[in-house]
């Protein structure tokens, strides 16, 4: 089985009256794993459809009030670096919740010679790429022949591709 690291910013939609764990329910990884609770702590390998292993990221810190937090950057970076290192496939999602951290992780994955899959959200046409994504995607394509890029219009397309494991058979 291949292990996959799913990059992208954790979805923080919703009002400030919701806890982070409540907001994680909308994250695409929660939908893939079937529960947002699986994102709030590192646990044993999580298998997706008996074919692939979810290897991270996890919200692995807990604030004093019991809510989950990502304030300790050194702990988070170390955890994410190890997860990328232990993965076979690096999956990056560039959507409206774009994160600079995804670019850092992408660079790690390329430097470690990982298989890379990038999904980016389309703009007006199939060939429009937001400027925030363009440089990262171009650099990835230039740096490695193990990079696959695909566009999407709605997050449901990405979820469907992941659940059907279509995208992982191409690498």
User: pLDDT band at 57, cuts 50/70/90?
Assistant: confident
Summarised one tens digit per residue, pLDDT across range 9-25 is: 766 555 556 666 677 77
For residue 69, the model assigns a pLDDT of 53
Mean pLDDT of 137-155: 89
Q: Are 89 and 106 in contact (CB under 8 A)?
A: no
Helix (H, G, I), strand (E, B) or coil at 119: strand
d(CA 63, CA 171): 38
Summarised one tens digit per residue, pLDDT across range 90-105 is: 999 888 767 788 888 9
d(CA 145, CA 123): 25
Q: Higher pLDDT residue, 26 or 167?
A: 26
Q: Are 83 and 105 in contact (CB under 8 A)?
A: no
Which residue range forms the structural domain that includes residue 148? 2-169
Summarised one tens digit per residue, pLDDT across range 81-134 is: 888 999 999 999 888 767 788 888 999 999 999 999 998 888 765 556 667 778
Residue 135 host element (H or E): helix 131-143
Task: Put the strands of the sheet holding 46-48 in their side by side order.
Answer: 46-48, 52-54, 2-7, 89-94, 115-121, 147-152
CATH number of the domain that residue 21 is part of? 3.40.50
| pLDDT at 171 > cutoff 50 | no
Domain tally for the chain?
A: 1
């Amino acid at each position: 089985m291949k292990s996959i690291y799913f990059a992208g910013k954790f979805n923080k939609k919703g009002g400030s009256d919701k806890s982070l764990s409540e907001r994680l329910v909308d994250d695409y990884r929660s939908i893939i794993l079937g529960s947002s609770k699986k994102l709030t702590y590192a646990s044993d390998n999580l298998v997706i459809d008996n074919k692939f292993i979810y290897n991270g990221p996890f919200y692995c810190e807990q604030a004093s009030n019991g809510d989950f937090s990502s304030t300790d950057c050194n702990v988070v970076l170390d955890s994410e670096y190890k997860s990328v290192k232990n993965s076979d496939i690096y999956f990056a999602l560039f959507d409206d919740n774009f994160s600079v951290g995804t670019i850092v992780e992408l660079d790690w994955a390329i430097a470690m010679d990982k298989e890379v899959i990038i999904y980016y959200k389309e703009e007006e046409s199939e060939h429009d790429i937001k400027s925030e994504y363009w440089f990262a995607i171009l650099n990835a394509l230039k740096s490695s022949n193990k990079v696959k890029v695909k566009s999407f219009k709605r997050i449901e397309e990405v979820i469907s591709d992941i659940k059907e494991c279509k995208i992982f058979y191409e690498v």
